[in-house]
């Protein structure tokens, strides 16, 4: 199955000199996940909703400064390869190029819509994230924002004891602290909050006048959605995707079968990642921007990951994603490069960035940062279990059949 029938030729495009304030206005369209950034006819990158919400740049800054390099694809690219590229680059909108010009985009939602009928053989239990990073009703909005940004997630369930009482999204927090300062009461599903976890109206915000610091000290109970959609582990993934589309949400809290106890979360990203499973899983290390590496090839990168993880006892790497992004800045002719490493292991999820002159230098800095996390035992939640052979055959019956 290729993307020819699911790519969209309608996309939002901005020149590199456009102020970020104008770009932010485009995201009033709740269905828009990312915009394409160009310099004349030349493609420069994308800026996503989450990226913009997480940034602290001034509104007068230019969108070119935030353009993120993501993989580009052709009209005939395979859907499963697109899923791999989305997971590896942490991007849910990929530009489709023809003769080096952007002719459309393919989105995570379009991929999920295309594969949804084939997901009835796989359950939530096969794909969900098994540790719930959560807040309590008394957690401050500022702390919740730090938790969301540090873990690289967009949804934060709110748990009171053993009870799931609400949901806060990154977009709820950004909307509240930066766009809603003039309102005094109530909440709504408009603005960035519309991309939250529940799709319901927010609880009363209470007084919102005052400076940003005071807002960040308020508890999340004043901001959270008061209704959360849940799903049991045994539910098939096709129904999960259908629920997400029907309710215009991107995450469901997972509960143990026959109880209301929250035990994890499943997001659109988790479902897309399930599509990237390999039958033999021999290619556990994915590298984006390999051509930027000087003096290193794919085998060298794989060996670096193996050496890094082997120092800390028994650890199985399920997936390792390395992304290299070159900046315009140079020093003595060597470009500044951002390297990002994401490790999915049986001991947890680890992620770190490194920035240096030359891709090899940046990659080693990122690897050092991951090693420090391994040493401290710092993870971003327990990993999903690695799919066994039967599960893979269930999922890949339709892929392998064409």
Evaluate whether residue 311 is within a structural domain.
Answer: yes
Evaluate whether residue 119 is within a structural domain.
Answer: no
Question: How many structural domains are present in the chain?
Answer: 3
Long-range contacts of 314-317 (CB under 8 A, 24+ apart): 315/345, 315/346, 315/347, 315/374, 316/345, 316/346, 316/386, 317/284, 317/285, 317/343, 317/344, 317/345
Evaluate whether residue 117 is within a structural domain.
Answer: no
Q: Are residues 160 and 246 in the same domain?
A: yes
Q: Are residues 203 and 222 in the same domain?
A: yes
Q: Are residues 266 and 131 in the same domain?
A: yes
How far apart are the C-alpha atoms of 195 and 250, rounded to whole Å? Answer: 7
Q: What is the pLDDT of residue 377?
A: 66
Q: What is the pLDDT of residue 390?
A: 52
Q: What is the pLDDT of residue 213?
A: 64
Whether residue 125 contacts residue 234, with contact meaning beta carbons closer than 8 Å, is answered with yes
Q: Which of 362, 246, 387, 289 is nearest to 88 (CA)?
A: 289
Q: Domain holding 317: CATH number?
A: 3.30.160.100
Evaluate whether residue 207 is within a structural domain.
Answer: yes
Q: Are residues 223 and 147 in the same domain?
A: yes
Evaluate whether residue 144 is within a structural domain.
Answer: yes
Q: Are residues 62 and 136 in the same domain?
A: no
Among 246, 274, 302, the domain-final residue is 274
Q: Are residues 267 and 357 in the same domain?
A: no
Whether residue 117 contacts residue 135, with contact meaning beta carbons closer than 8 Å, is answered with no
Q: Is 390 exposed, middle or buried (0-12, 13-18, 19+ CB in 10 A)?
A: exposed
Q: What is the pLDDT of residue 280?
A: 44
Q: What is the pLDDT of residue 279?
A: 44
pTM (2 d.p.): 0.64
Whether residue 70 contacts residue 89, with contact meaning beta carbons closer than 8 Å, is answered with yes
Evaluate whether residue 384 is within a structural domain.
Answer: no
How far apart are the C-alpha atoms of 284 and 387, rounded to whole Å? Answer: 13
Among 274, 301, 334, the domain-final residue is 274
Q: Are residues 30 and 146 in the same domain?
A: no
Domain range enclosing 203: 126-274
Evaluate whether residue 99 is within a structural domain.
Answer: yes
Q: Are residues 91 and 145 in the same domain?
A: no
Q: Which of 133, 175, 177 is nearest to 158 (CA)?
A: 133
Q: Are residues 141 and 265 in the same domain?
A: yes
Among 75, 107, 139, the domain-final residue is 107
Question: How distant, in Å, are the alpha carbons of 187, 273, 293, 391 from that of 385?
Answer: 38, 12, 32, 11
Strands 251-255 and 262-267: antiparallel
Q: Are residues 143 and 173 in the same domain?
A: yes
pLDDT tens for the chain, 402 residues long, are 678 888 899 899 999 999 988 888 888 877 888 999 998 888 888 998 887 776 666 767 888 888 888 888 888 888 888 888 888 777 889 999 888 789 999 999 999 998 888 888 788 888 888 777 889 999 999 899 888 887 778 889 999 887 888 999 887 787 776 654 433 333 333 333 333 444 444 444 344 444 556 788 899 998 888 878 999 988 999 999 999 999 888 899 998 877 778 888 999 988 988 887 654 444 567 787 788 888 888 888 888 888 888 777 677 777 787 888 888 788 888 999 989 888 877 767 788 889 999 999 999 999 999 888 887 765 444 445 445 545 444 444 444 334
Evaluate whether residue 35 is within a structural domain.
Answer: yes
Q: Are residues 102 and 169 in the same domain?
A: no
State how far Cα 117 lies from the chain centre. Answer: 23
Q: What is the pLDDT of residue 132?
A: 78
Q: Are residues 146 and 226 in the same domain?
A: yes
Each residue of 75-96: b (16+ CB within 10 Å) or e?
Answer: eebebbebbbbbbbbbbbbbbb
Q: Domain holding 63: CATH number?
A: 3.10.580.10
How far apart are the C-alpha atoms of 342 and 363, rounded to whole Å? Answer: 12
């Amino acid at each position: 199955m290729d993307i020819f029938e699911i790519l969209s030729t309608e996309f939002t495009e901005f020149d590199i000199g456009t102020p970020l304030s104008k770009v932010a206005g485009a995201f009033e369209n709740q269905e828009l996940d990312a915009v394409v950034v160009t310099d004349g006819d030349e493609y420069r990158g994308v800026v996503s909703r989450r990226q913009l919400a997480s940034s602290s740049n001034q509104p007068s800054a230019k969108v070119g400064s935030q353009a993120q390099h993501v993989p580009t694809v052709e009209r005939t690219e395979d859907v499963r390869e697109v899923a791999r590229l989305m997971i590896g680059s942490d991007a849910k909108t990929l530009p489709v190029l023809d003769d080096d010009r952007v002719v459309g985009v393919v989105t995570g939602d379009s991929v999920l819509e295309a594969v949804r009928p084939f997901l009835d053989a796989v359950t939530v239990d096969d794909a969900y994230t098994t540790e719930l990073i959560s807040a309590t009703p008394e957690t401050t909005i500022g702390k919740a924002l730090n938790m969301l940004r540090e873990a690289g997630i967009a949804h934060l369930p709110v748990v009171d004891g053993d009870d799931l009482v609400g949901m806060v999204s990154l977009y709820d927090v950004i909307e509240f602290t930066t766009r809603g300062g003039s309102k005094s009461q109530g909440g709504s599903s408009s603005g960035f909050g519309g991309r939250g976890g529940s799709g319901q109206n927010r609880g009363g915000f209470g007084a919102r006048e005052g400076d940003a610091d005071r807002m960040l000290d308020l508890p999340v109970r004043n901001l959270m959605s008061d209704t959360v959609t849940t799903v049991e582990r045994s539910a098939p993934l096709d129904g999960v995707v259908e629920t997400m589309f029907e309710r215009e949400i991107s995450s469901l809290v997972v509960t143990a079968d026959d109880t209301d106890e929250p035990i994890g979360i499943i997001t659109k990203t988790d479902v897309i990642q399930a599509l990237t499973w390999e039958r033999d899983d021999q290619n556990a290390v994915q590298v984006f921007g390999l051509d930027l590496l000087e003096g290193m090839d794919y085998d060298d990168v794989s060996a670096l990951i193996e050496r890094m993880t082997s120092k800390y006892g028994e650890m199985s790497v399920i997936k390792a994603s390395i992304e290299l992004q070159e900046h315009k800045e140079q020093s003595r002719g060597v470009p500044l490069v951002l390297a990002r490493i994401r490790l999915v292991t049986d001991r947890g999820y680890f992620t770190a960035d490194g920035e240096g002159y030359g891709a090899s230098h940046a990659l080693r800095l990122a690897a050092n940062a991951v090693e420090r996390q391994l040493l401290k035992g710092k993870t971003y939640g327990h990993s999903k279990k690695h799919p066994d052979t039967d599960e893979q055959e269930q999922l890949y019956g339709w892929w392998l059949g064409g």
